[in-house]
């Protein structure tokens, strides 16, 4: 059994984040020592690592909770996982597309900044009325 510090090291999850996950019911409450300290089994640490990896893949907590409950059922879980993963992939693709658009817009705006005039053409363009609107939902993460 390991204290929260060791669990944090081994799972790569910040101590405060581990306690946060426990508060939010993402991971079950671990046992406690006589002095009231949290004690984690290797399995519980593996769960924390699993959560971190899913977070690294960009999955939101709510989906990760579904994953965790699916891992306990063992049967018929794969189709659901694949569906969730694919819709997440769609979101990632949409984000990439949006960022590419932003990239292009920013590049063309800042390119004008080299023209040596005192006023900034980029700020000017953003102030003016004729500027094309982006209004892309996914651009706000």
Which residues lie near DNA (CB under 7 A)? 3-6, 8, 14-17, 19-20, 33-38, 55, 60-62, 140
In whole angstroms, give the CA distance from residue 113 to residue 117: 8
Distance, in Å, from the CA atom of 89 to the CA atom of 58, rounded to the nearest integer, reads 10
Partner interacting with residue 95 (select from a copy of itself, DNA, none; CB below 5-8 Å by kind)? a copy of itself
Q: Is 27 left (phi over 0), alpha (psi -120 to 50) or beta?
A: beta
65 binds, among DNA, a copy of itself, none (CB under 5 to 8 A by kind): none
Taking the complex as a whole, the smallest distance from the CB of residue 127 to a copy of itself amounts, in Å, to 5
Please measure the distance between the N-terminal and C-terminal CA atoms of the chain and give it in whole angstroms.
38
41 binds a copy of itself (CB under 8 A): no
E strand or H helix that includes residue 92: helix 77-111
Burial class (CB in 10 A: 0-12, 13-18, 19+), 55: middle
Chain residues in the site for a copy of itself (CB under 8 A): 12, 46, 50, 53-58, 67, 70-71, 74-79, 81-82, 85-86, 88-89, 92-93, 95-96, 99-100, 102-103, 105-107, 109-110, 113-114, 117-123, 126-127, 131, 133-136, 139-141
């Amino acid at each position: 059994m390991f204290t929260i510090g060791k669990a944090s090291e081994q799972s790569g999850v910040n101590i405060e984040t581990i306690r946060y996950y426990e508060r939010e019911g993402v991971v079950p409450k671990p046992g406690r020592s006589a002095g009231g300290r949290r004690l984690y089994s290797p399995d519980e640490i593996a769960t924390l690592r699993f959560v971190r990896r899913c977070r690294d893949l960009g999955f939101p907590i709510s989906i990760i909770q579904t994953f965790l409950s699916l891992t306990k059922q063992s049967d018929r879980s794969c189709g659901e996982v694949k569906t969730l993963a694919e819709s997440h992939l769609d979101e990632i693709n949409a984000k990439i597309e949006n960022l590419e658009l932003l990239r292009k817009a920013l590049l063309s705006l800042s390119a004008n900044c080299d023209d040596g005039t005192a006023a900034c053409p980029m700020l000017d363009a953003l102030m003016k009325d004729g500027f094309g609107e982006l209004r892309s939902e996914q651009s706000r993460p």
